[in-house]
Structure formats: C-alpha cells, structure tokens
Structure 1
C-alpha cells in the first residue's frame, strides 16, 4: 500500500476551518470540495493517457488525453457524495458508480453493504474510492475488495482524515495483488472508544447533510 499525506499550507488552513465545530454545513461542503480537488491532483498523478493529435490556432501537435476505458469514481454512501463535486471538477470525463456501506456498530471493522450501482466488469479501469474518513479501515478494505471482485486492480482511496489504526488495518488486510494507494489530507492521533477519529471533525455525513435520526 502506498500512502500519500498532503503537506501544504492551504490544506492545513482549510482543515482547521473544516474541523471547527462552529463551521456551518454550507462552508463545510465548500471546503470538502476544495480539499478533494487538491487531493485529486495528487491522486491522479498516475492516470493513464494516450497521444492525441490536435491543431492549435498556430500549428499541429500531439497532446495527451485520458485513456479509455475511462476512470471511475466511486463514492461510499452517504458521506462520500460530499466529495464527488471536487473529483468531477478535476476529472469531468470520468464515470461515477455508487457503493453503499455502513459500519456494523457492534463490530466496527465489519461492514454492511446496502447499495451498489457499479459496472459488473471493472477490468482495466482505474478506480477512485472516495470517503471522508478512514477510521477503523473496515469500510475501505471491504469497498476495495468489492471492486477487486469485479476485476479492478488499480484502486486509489481518497480520504480527508485517517486514523493510524485504520491505516494499519488497511495495510494488513488489503489484497497485496491490488495496486492500491491512499491519499489523505491528515493523519490524526487515534480512535476513541466509539471508533471516532480524534481530534477528527465529528460525523462527516452529519456535518455535510445534517443529522438523520
């Protein structure tokens, strides 16, 4: 597993505002979009391209274009939806799939899959999993293997915040045959007894969309 933690003053500033409990949902959503756009720049560094002949107003040349099959972005519902705009602004030609997973509260590293809108065959596709929090790592491992079962071998996870425990769990449990990368804005201190990241930013889904009872 390859881990990349963004190290940039803009990211640090935006993360401080994002974490603040007094930041309203509207600002929170805007910041998530901005941070994901910055992450996407790093996450897509290895995006496959092909030569494309074009004609500029001055001369002909051979440029580069994103190769086919197109990359696919997979938000993990529901919080991952808040990251989708930032990704689509950077890769507007990408396709989008959806994967609904939630943590089993009695067994934090186990996941319950409740929705799936993905191609049956992901062979040869570069896949980008987006989910704000990498906490226990259970969701990320389950989602990665879910894509791998459909043929995906090149998978990049984009998270806002990660916990050391989650990173360790992912390193130990993701199939090593997968070309797997993780891009995050910050690695926090630890998980608390409820498996929430500390200091973290609270429940990302609730802060994006409001509390659902």
Structure 2
C-alpha cells in the first residue's frame, strides 16, 4: 500500500464537515441515479468552495444600509478563475459558481491514455489577464495525479497569482504525484481513499465521475 509523503499530506485540506461527508456517501452508492449524482455534486461543490475561499483577500466597500452609511468587506470575484478539467470538472462548476457567481471560467481538456495513464491535452482556454487572477482547478478525482500535474503545469505558463486544486476524492498516489511536481499547490478534498486499482481508479471511490455525471456508463 502506498503511503502519503508527510510533507504532501500537510499540503492537503480535508473538508470533513458532516454535511459534506453525508452527501459524499450518498454519491458513492452505486444505485445513485444520474440526476441525484449531479444534484449531490452541485450541493457538495457549493459547500466545499467555502473552505477553498477562506483566505481570499477582502477589500473595504462603503455602503449605505437602511439606517446609515458603513464600511463592509467584499471579495473581488472577478479576479477568481475556476479552471475545469474536462469533462468531469464541469460537474463542479454550477455548484462553485452559485457561491461565487462573479468568477471567470476556464477549461483544460485532458484525457488519460488508457495504456500509459499519462495525461494528453486536447483543449485549453483561459480568461485574459491571468497574471491578475487566482485559480481554483476543479476536477472530481485526483487519482494518479498525472492529469492534475499536467493541468497545473499548463496553467502556470499563464502566470496566475495562485493555484489551488479542488476535488471530491483523492488517494496517496495522487497526493504524492501532485506534490512532487507542484509543492506550492494546495489540495482541498472531501476524502482520502486507500489507493488505486490496476486501472488507475480510486478505491473504494465512486466509479468514473464523468460517466456518472453525464449518464454515459
């Protein structure tokens, strides 16, 4: 069994809120329908993004309440980019955008070669002025870590201010691989499962997230 590098584990935030764990368990069930899987993923993403955005910078904004003028705190959602790793990452977008609707959206098209398990890029589109933006990569699974590392490498070429990685599930192999390639990227996840099977799937996992989101099983 693969063990997690202690330094890599310190770079992972496990979101263990009871509501997150409850919804994740319902998603794992093999009898969960496509519609319920999507709904739960949407709800989970909306809950998890709160933790991801915990350290976002705030700025003062003068407003007027019904009683008087005051100064409040706001974030600049337009400086945030959600980068979806196609195709499964798109299942997370609605949930995170419901919380931060002003965020921009980018897409990284990657598929995993079934023989080598290495990531192959086929599409890349990001907003302009990336050097002014913070990026949150969204992908339900951090499995082998190869696609995640490839996505981060591609995004770093755009020179964003920061990059974080948000996933539902990960495992020791994925955590170690991403940390080895990009020790500056924090991972936010709802669960760290025991490891990968011979086909590179997380065990016990929840199956192929893309197939379950889009009903292509």
Give runs of ≥4 in structure 1 deviating > 2 Å: none
Q: How does 1:150-161 map to 2 (within 5 A)?
A: 150-161=158-169
Cα RMSD for the two superposed structures: 1.5
More strand by proportion, 1 or 2?
A: 1
Q: How does 1:27-176 map to 2 (within 5 A)?
A: 27-67=36-76, 70-108=79-117, 110-119=118-127, 121-174=129-182, 176=183
How much has 1:47 moved relative to structure 2? 1.3
Distance 1:167 1:120 in 2: 30
Match of 2:23 in 1: 14
Q: Structure 2: 5+ residue runs without aligned partners?
A: 1-7
Using structure 1 for the length normalisation, give the TM-score: 0.93
How much has 1:120 moved relative to structure 2? 5.2
Using structure 2 for the length normalisation, give the TM-score: 0.91
How much has 1:68 moved relative to structure 2? 7.2
Give the length in aligned residue pairs: 208
Q: Structure 1: 5+ residue runs without aligned partners?
A: none
Q: Deviations over 1:41-85 (max 9, x none)?
A: 000011122111100101111111223752111111110010001
Distance 1:187 1:11 in 2: 13
Pair 1:187-2:197 in alignment: no
Q: Are 1:122 and 1:147, in contact at CA under 8 Å, matched by a contact in 2?
A: no
